[in-house]
Amino acid sequence: VGTASATKLTKSFVNREPFLLYLADTIIPYNLEENLQRIILNDSEIGLLSAKIQKNNIKNVGSIEVKDDFVIKINEKSLDSKTDLGWAGVAFFKSSYIFKIIDELNPSFRNEFEITEAMNLVLNHNRKIRNYICEKYIDAGTISGILELNNFILNQHKFSRNHIPKTLQNELKNPVYIGTNCDIDDGVSIGPFVSIGNDVLIDVNVKIEQSVIMDGAQISSNQKISH
């Protein structure tokens, strides 16, 4: 299992063609098409996207060490990284060479086959990996990342809140999204930055802020839910 194992599953589909890898839990919120064109048009074996991250988050991401815009090492969620660049989960492979490399991989300390380690092996085989920096990426594979993504989406879009009957006495603080068929009792405070899915039941005197409530959730009375 692991990101390299998932990549290898595409081998029969990709054959010998170039291909784009985009991790499903990573969001590039700005200039996605422009950034993809940059890495696709590069002439190295692999083109990567990265973005600057806060030092306290370095242990949660694949970090990229770079010299003159070329990658010299990729660290998979390591405390020992000497860089402030995190891999944005996007890579363009010029050839099927990566599949040969994946076959040489050993499991990581997490007992997974990591695509980041496969790319380190590419470097060991004297192939070049070019790094391109994007403005930002959001790692939605963590709780904090999901909340950050929720805030971004709510800031970008204006959602209708007319699924709440006007007869209910509730406090709504924008931005808020509320799905369909929700049963929300009186005295509920929602927002800011709250997304509520479909078929959610919320009892009386509940306060929700900075949170994502999934479909079908049931929240009993007199609770405060935050972050």
Tens of pLDDT, residues 17-74? 999 999 999 999 999 999 999 999 988 999 999 999 876 665 667 788 999 999 999 8
Say how many C-beta atoms besides its own lie within 10 A of residue 55's C-beta.
9
Tens of pLDDT, residues 65-122? 999 999 999 887 665 667 789 899 999 999 999 999 999 998 888 888 999 999 999 9
Band the pLDDT of 159: cuts 50, 70, 90: low
Q: Of all residues in the chain, what percent carry a pLDDT higher than 70?
A: 90
